[in-house]
Structures are given as structure tokens and as C-alpha cells.
Amino acid sequence: MPSPFNMPDEFVRGFFKSGQTLLQAYTGAAGHTADAPAAPLSSAKLPALALAQAQAHYWQQQMALYMGMVASATGQKPTPAVEPERGDRRFSADAWRENPWYSVLKQTYLLNSRLLNDMVEAAGVGEKEKHKLRFYARQFIDSMSPANFAATNPEAMKTAIETQGESVRTGFANLLEDLKRGRISITDENAFEVGKNVAVSKGSVVFENELFQLIQYAPLTEQVAERPLVIVPPCINKFYILDLQPENSFVRYAAEQGQTVFLVSWRNPDAELGHITWDDYVENGAIKAIEVSRTISGADKVNAVGWCVGGTILSSALAVLRARGDESVASFTLLTTMLDFSDPGDLGVFIDEQGVSQREQTIGKGGIYSGGELGFVFQTLRANDLIWPYVVNNYLKGGAPQAFDLLYWNADGTNLPGPMYAWYLRNMYLENNLCKAGRLSMCGTQVDLGKIDIPSYIFGTQEDHIVPWKGAYRSTQLVGGDTQFVLGASGHIAGVINPASKNKRSYWTDGTLGDDPQAWLETAKSQPGSWWTHWNNWLQAHAGKQVAAPKKPGNAKFKPIEPAPGRYVAKHPPEVMGA
């Protein structure tokens, strides 16, 4: 199994259920699932034929591997029967190529992995079950890599010999320390401190309630846009991903462009907030932040930005405001946000009626969903990047993870209130109700995303493993008003945090909007550099006239409470298991 740390029930149940499904697929019981009725007799032989072809190919490669072993024994340099995929860093050490024993071990593992993948692809089940099979097969395959075990990892063995066993002792100590904290260390957490070398942009907390603090950042220009910028980050992580360090701070960039930036800093819920609902996040969170920001700035309207689930909360808030006839928002930006959950990517493998019902029964009326469990789920989406390299480095080799601000933030997870989380699971991921006009009622009113008739900037990232870009694109077909879609390179985090000053990566714009995201991509234009500059140019049209920068934060009604980043971001409540 990938990790004993904060492993949610959904993962354990899904892992064993997928194994059972794969077994049934090859014992004549496949296809009897909710999304895949039993296959007709005419197609029943197809999985068996595909399996036979996979097995034949497997044994051909095994024979090639055997012949390579014979050639190696006679002093010849054999041609590998199989090679790791490009970008696979697990077998980069020279010993995996030059040492015959390790070379055979590596190739045997790769051949067995490919056979299991071929079996999954040949299984006669529906696409939904196939997706689950792929995911859990990948978890099993990744976990069984010979690089993950001390006795079969040449670098770990070499380090143990060179340090006379000291690396083994240190690795065991690292494991015990991580077991105490309930998660794998992926960065040097002592290298960073919130407010000291991350989240350092100057500002003040100008409002707070039990759910969030509102930060107003100090202006960096003499003139600012009349309409302020209100940012709603995800509530499943701390806000400072948008303000890591000055050179990669989205907050600082926006201020440098003449924006007065207000940002929501969600409170990390403990048992005291175990009653909080989705409506609370909408009404007492996003809507309240918009109201206070507008009051302080004295502007007619604000511009709003939402990221990930923060974007879902913001969109819900805008739908509620439009239903009330409120026109206090001039435009909104959604960053890697899902409004149509019909294709949730790998996160969908964790969602089914049984799991959602269990969460509703255990924490749906009150309680806390552990941030540790949620963090583990996200790690499994990229296990060979966020789990196994650290198992090898920290435990097998006795090393220490390097200091990296983004991974420090990644490890600084938050809990979620049980009622909010259970409602979100059912109405978004399980039943996909938000994108259906009038299906949901929030804050006492029915919501319709199509009534949000203001300009929107929808941003997705090409390699996003949390919000697949085609899912982000579908928002363009749901909201009203003029909209444009921009696709950035890289993934969910790195694709968003792409500073304009570094001018890296690329993005795509100006495709033909329609129902088909692939058609949009085929007509889009590739642009070098950061999407930040493109977004800023778009925002200027909605920012209002230039006015003198405020001389101090807040106003007579909302006075500064404390300096940014505030108390809420630094608060670490005890981990509470959700079920």
C-alpha cells in the first residue's frame, strides 16, 4: 500500500474493490456493474483475446530478457528488453543499467507492470470501472517498485555500506518522526516560517469572523485601480500559495500592477467549527469578503478571483448575488476551477454512493474531516512525485528533504467542516448538481450559473491532475456574459504560479469557443511566457479609473486588526480523524 499515513477509508475500500473487479473480469463475472451491464455474448471473447495477446507479448519480452542474461554471462552487452518511460527517475542510478542483477530486477518489474496494465485495459468493464482499475493498478505498481525497498535499491545499499549503517539508523528515526506527525515529510519544514520568509507581502487584517480573515495588502503604486481585487483561495489549503515569496507572489504582482488586493484567509477548522456548512462559506465567506472590500474601497464594484474550490465557492456566491439582483461584482476570474463535475479526473475514483453516505452519517451533521486524509488523497494522484521519492530518500537512505517553499505550503494542510464537506461531495462530485440550473438552493435562493452575466476569465492548466483542463473549459459554457478561456502549461499549482518576471512556460489563447474543448485547442494560439501579463491586460478593462492609492488600510467602520498574514493562517488545530 502507498502509505499508512492518514489513509482514508475510500482509498482502502477502492483498492480492494478494484482487485475484486479485475479478478471477476477474468473469471466470467465482469460487466455486472452500475455503469456497465453484462456484455453481450458476441463480445464476451474480446477480453480473453486481448489478454491472450498481452500474455504472448509478455512472454516474448521475457524471452528477450532471458537471452540478454545469457549474452551478459558471456561478456556481451545485451540490449534491454524494456526501458523505463521517459521522465521515470526511479532507475536513474548507474547500477540499474550496469549491474546485471539490478538490471534484470528492473526489467522484470517493468514487464510485470506492463502486463498488469494490459490486463486492466483488456478487462471487459465499463469506462467508470476501468478508470478506477487504472488508478488502483497504478498505485499497486508504483508501490511495488524495487526502488522502494532497501534490499533491492542499489543506492540505499551503497549508502548503508558507506555510512556503516548510520543511514539505516537515521532512516528509521525519520520514519518514527513522520509517524508521530501523521504524514511523510516532503520538505524541510524548519526552513520556512509564515510571515517571515513566506507570506511576507505587507498588509493588514481589516475584518474577521469565525470563518475567515480579510487581508488588505499595501499598495505598491501611487495610483491604483478604482475597483479593488478580491481573491477567494481554496479552503482546503492555506492562502499563501498566492504569496509564497516576493519573486513568485501573485499578490505582489497584482499590487505592482496597481491593484488594491483583498484576500480571504480561511480559518483552519477545529471541533469548534464542526457545524459550518457550504452556505456559510458562500454567505459568510465569499459574499461577506466582497461586501467588506467594496465598502472599504468605496468603489461601485469589485473584481473577483477564485482558485480551485475557492472558485466554486465564488461562483456559487455570484449566482446567489445575481439572484438577489446584486451587481457589486464587475468581473470574475476562475483559476483551475470545476463547475461541471462530470469528469473529475482521478479524484472521481474516491467518490461513490457508499463513501458519500458514510461521510454524511459520520460527520455530515457535525464534525471535522482531517486535512491529513485529504492530503494523502492528493499525494496518491502523483505518488511517484509526492510519496515514493521521499520514502526512498528519507527512510531507505536516511536523507533529509530539501527546502522548497511550494512543498512547505503543500504540507501545511487544513481540515474541513464535516457538514460542508459531505454536502460538497454529494452535490458536486457525486450528483453534479451545480451546473444544472435551479437544481441547488444556496443561502435561501435557487442558483443558476447562467445568470452570472458579467465578463469572466477562465483559466485551466494542461497537466492538471485535480481539475482536468477540459473540465475547467466547460465553465465557459455555463456562465453568462463575455468569457474567454486561457490554457496554461504545467499542472494545477505550477501552472498557476508562473511569475511574469521569470517569463517561463507558455499558454494558449483565442481559440474558438464552443461545446468542444479539443476544437478550442486546435484553433488556439500558443503564447510564450506567463499568463499573468495576459490576465492583467484583460483585467484593466474592468478595473475602473485610476485613483490615488489608499494611505492606510481599512476605514472608519473596518479598522485594521493586526498585520498580515494574520492569526488564522498560522493556526494549527489538532488533527481530527473524519470517520
Is beta strand 445-446 parallel, antiparallel or unpaired with respect to 456-461? Answer: unpaired
Contact 472, 338 (CB under 8 A): yes
Q: Does residue 235 carry a catalytic annotation?
A: no
CA 42, 43, 46, 48 torsion-angle sign = negative
Give tens-digit pLDDT for 490-516: 999 999 999 998 888 999 999 999 999
Domain span(s) for CATH 3.40.50.1820 in the chain? 203-370+415-570
Q: What is the 8-class DSSP label of residue 234? A: -
Cα 511 to Cα 525: distance, rounded to the nearest angstrom:
7
Q: What ranges make up the beta strands (E) of 243-344?
A: 261-266, 302-307, 329-335
The two beta strands, 302-307 and 329-335, are parallel
Exactly one of 235, 308, 435, 443 is catalytic; which is it?
Answer: 308
State residue 34's pLDDT score. Answer: 40
Look up the CATH architecture of domain 203-370+415-570. Answer: 3-Layer(aba) Sandwich (3.40)
Residues (pLDDT < 50) of the chain are: 1-3, 29-44, 574-579
C-alpha cell, 432: 453534479
- Establish how many alpha carbons lie within 13 A of residue 73's alpha carbon, considering only the half-sphere containing its beta carbon: 7
* 349 three-state secondary structure: helix
Query: What DSSP string runs through 186-202?
Result: -S-GGG--BTTTBS---
Q: What is the phi/psi pair of residue 202, to 5°?
A: -70, 135
pLDDT at 400: 93
Task: Please write the tens of the pLDDT for every residue from 188-236.
Answer: 988 999 999 999 999 999 999 999 999 999 999 999 999 999 999 999 9
Do residues 129 and 17 lie in contact, with contact meaning Cβ atoms separated by under 8 Å?
no
Find the length of the chain.
579
Helical (H) or strand (E) element with 367: none
Helix-, strand-, coil-residue percentages of the chain, each rounded to 5: 45, 15, 40
